Amino acid sequence: MRLKRMFTAVDSHTEGMPTRVITGGVGVIPGATMNDKRLYFMEYLDDIRLFLMNEPRGHKAMSGAILQPSTRPDADWGVVYIEVSGCLPMCGHGTIGVATVLVETGMVDVQEPVTTIRLDTPAGLVIARVAVSDGHADSVTIENVPSYSVRLDDSVDVPGYGTLPYSLAFGGNFYAMVNLDAVNLSFDRASQEEILRAGLAIMSAINATNPPRHPEIDGLDHCHHVEFIAPGSTAQYSRHAMAIYPGWFDRSPCGTGTSARMAELWARGELALDQDFVNESFIGSKFTGRLVRETTVAGIPAVVPTITGRAWVTGIGQYLLDPSDPFPTGFQF
Ligand code: PYC
């Protein structure tokens, strides 16, 4: 066997959505903060992401996380998130996957009944509390970065769809929230191609006319996620289809999307602190969210959400590149 590259990984899924946790082979990414590392990685090391996420080693909804030494004294591990479309500043399902892998492989000091892991993410400090019994990670509650509503009940002209009402919020990434009824589509996986087409058209129209920008996180200046809210959803229980650039759906209930949705409901006065909010994904899996305290982001009223979900280890792998492989960065199909 001839090798040009080798990465070690522990694969997992969080409520149906994969997280390939890269435990070796990348080395320490240059950068004083985890967001600096993310920006450096995107500019100089993106071939690693493409190799690990694209076909044939990944697929069009592949997602992962690269473990790094923390850049801050108050965190145990650092994380750079990778997926088919780039490097998110924060990923909820990915963090639940990382915390589960760290516990199940013994890469942290495991305590029962709760192991607390402090993670240095590009979007800020995220605390994962893992419920552990008999050495098994049963569920993970993450305390996410401050989340806030950017605009409520705005509208955007979307070519082919007319003027559509939407709201926009930040929960670690920016999310446009649109009622599925507004695009006359049903909450049915048989409609996924049409839902995706509408989602891509909406994010493109928002980014062309009124893109969001995070006041404190460099390089976060676009919306790549549209959360289509299913009819019958309430401020306690919501179902959604999460359309993501460049063309896939989150299989999990989307931790950062759930955080954004709770921030939107809080800004409307429909969700108070310490109330459960259950968010169901397009495949029927669930996260339970809560808002635990109020705060501000650069003077903007914000809330700190927690998200509880489960992840399972699915494999341990070594991903290899033979020097004669004609697809060193994989491909999308
Ligand atoms: O869980 O935050 C999340 C997420 C973002 C994209 C896919 N999942």
pLDDT value of residue 7: 98
- Model pTM? 0.98
243's tokens? 């359309």
250 lines ligand 1 (CB under 6 A): yes
pLDDT value of residue 115: 98
pLDDT value of residue 283: 98
Sort strands 300-309 and 286-297 into parallel, antiparallel or unpaired: antiparallel
97 lines ligand 1 (CB under 6 A): no
Q: Which of 10, 17, 128, 254 is catalytic?
A: 254
Q: What's the gap in Å between 81 CA and the centre of ligand 1?
A: 10
Q: What's the gap in Å between 3 CA and the centre of ligand 1?
A: 32
Choose the residue to mutate in 254, 281, 306 for probing ligand 1, maximizing ligand atoms within 8 Å of C-beta. 254
Q: What's the gap in Å between 245 CA and the centre of ligand 1?
A: 12
Please say if 223 is a catalytic residue: no
50's tokens? 């493409």
CA neighbor of 22 nearest in space, from 55, 76, 67, 88: 67
pLDDT value of residue 330: 97
pLDDT value of residue 165: 98
Task: Report residues of the chain scoring pLDDT below 70.
Answer: none
Ligand 1 atom index nearest CA of 254:
1
Sort strands 124-133 and 237-244 into parallel, antiparallel or unpaired: unpaired
Give, rounded to a whole angstrom, the gap between the first and last alpha carbons of the chain: 27
Ligand 1 atom index nearest CA of 91:
2
Alpha helices by DSSP H, listed for 169-288, are 192-209, 255-267
92 lines ligand 1 (CB under 6 A): yes
pLDDT value of residue 287: 98
Please say if 87 is a catalytic residue: no
- CB-CB contact of 329 with 51 (8 Å): yes
CA neighbor of 168 nearest in space, from 158, 182, 153: 153
pLDDT value of residue 331: 96
Q: What's the gap in Å between 1 CA and the centre of ligand 1?
A: 36
| Domains of the chain from N-terminus onward | 5-145+312-321 (3.10.310.10), 148-306 (3.10.310.10)
pLDDT value of residue 11: 98
| Separation of alpha carbons 333 and 327, rounded Å | 13
pLDDT value of residue 325: 98
pLDDT value of residue 125: 98
pLDDT digits (tens, 9 = 90+) for 22-44: 999 999 999 999 999 999 999 99
pLDDT value of residue 244: 98
Q: By alpha-carbon position, which residue is closest to atom 5 of ligand 1?
A: 91
φ, ψ dihedrals at 22, nearest 5°: -85, 115
Q: Which of 10, 91, 183, 195 is catalytic?
A: 91
Q: What's the gap in Å between 222 CA and the centre of ligand 1?
A: 15
CA dist 77 → 56, 108, 129, 188, 284 (Å): 29, 9, 14, 39, 31
262 lines ligand 1 (CB under 6 A): no
Query: Which long-range contacts does 187-193 make (Cβ < 8 Å, 24+ apart)?
Result: 187/228, 187/230, 187/231, 187/239, 187/241, 189/282, 189/283, 192/241, 192/249, 192/282
